[in-house]
Structure 1
Amino acid sequence: MTNPLIIALDFPTEADALAFLAPFNNVPLTVKVGMELFYAAGLDFIRTLQDRGFGVFLDLKLHDIPNTVYSAMKVIGQLGIQYTTVHALGGQTMIEAASRGLADGAAHAGILAPDLLVITQLTSTDQTTMNRDLQIDGDLVQSVVHLAAMADQAGADGVVCSALEVPDLQARNLQLKYITPGIRLAASNDDQKRVVTPGRARQLGSTGLVIGRPITQADHPLAAYHRFQTEWEAAK
């Protein structure tokens, strides 16, 4: 990973996203394209980002039967992107199918496959939500550990989780990257429940950070990005 900071392009249109990215043209940056923007702008937008030198994390969080996920990932594997995602709750067979699809698609295109990242529990999920709404018994962190271990066994390259959970995952000696959203410079009142600062995330063992609104909604986004980067680097 050349740059551990990934900016989430949480914008409704391609024009909004490209306007935001204009000051970043000389920054070696990976950007995350989620469902809203991808459904609005499509594959042409992914190619536009690549033409402008940005790495792409295509975050579609696939969760379906294994054959469907395999077929979708075979397409995604041909795009030349850096990362993509599935939900761990789809099960081990689905994750294995996703990994095969990416590998087969990339081989067909003659390129490297993107890293397959597995969503454990969303950072908007807390203990009550998991137990009451999802009807998953037990402790939230132990659920994340279980799902990450399953992802590792299924051949995933990494997981998306809270930085607070990384030490528990590292204790299992999993061969995974730990990509962590919910990163803030200070406490905030939004829908992220399990949040940490970039410096703390690095100390906890995060491999990479996904940062959205604290940069995309900042008065000076490039300056905000550099503040996150400085705090990350200072935690070496």
Structure 2
Amino acid sequence: MHLQFNQIVPYIPFILQGILVTLQFTILSTIIGFILGIVLSLIKISTIKPLKWLGVFYTSIFRGTPLILQIALIYYAIPQLTGYDIPALQAGVIAFALNSAAYVSETIRGGILAVDKGQREAALSLGVPYRQMMKDIILPQAIKNILPALANESIALLKDSALVSTIGVTDLLRRASIVGSKTFLYFEPLILVGLIYYGMVLILTFGARVLERRLRRSD
């Protein structure tokens, strides 16, 4: 086995530029998915049955079909159905945000239901509006309890972001493939990209642990 890492050194800056694309995609997808997940979780615990059924149906669709299929449908079907030539990065963010919302909503729903019912009953008995009760009392406690699960979802999203390379987004994996096609060396750029992903996951994991410790101290 003869490795030639020196041959890809000139391409390292090109590969590193993919970090910004990957982080941009991951951050946007995480934020949008989290917001949609909160809305979806509230729909699922709603007493309005049609809304509840809609939330359950949404979750079953996005959890029951492959993510790569969802990406392909949004990227290729939207131009066909609407005439809008959607950019690859935008299609990826939409697909990941919608998919992430389905998983996050289940996590948040579990966190909401885990909050002591007495607090909800006490707030309602004091005349606190439902919206304010959820925003100021229930959701903060639920988020604090499910923070490790949300961190795991963010890590999974960061790693799965490599799937957007299949629709032409020039993320880390796509750039490694481009370097491989130019140098006819695939192992070296792929190993480099793997180390970059691993480093970003370690940083995200460390940040989540620090945040979790601070939240525990605030109890």
- TM-score normalized by the length of structure 2: 0.25
Determine which structure has greater relative contact order: mean sequence separation of CA pairs < 8 Å that are 6+ residues apart, divided by chain length. Answer: 2
TM-score (normalizing by structure 1): 0.24
Larger radius of gyration: 2
The structure with the greater share of residues assigned to helix is 2
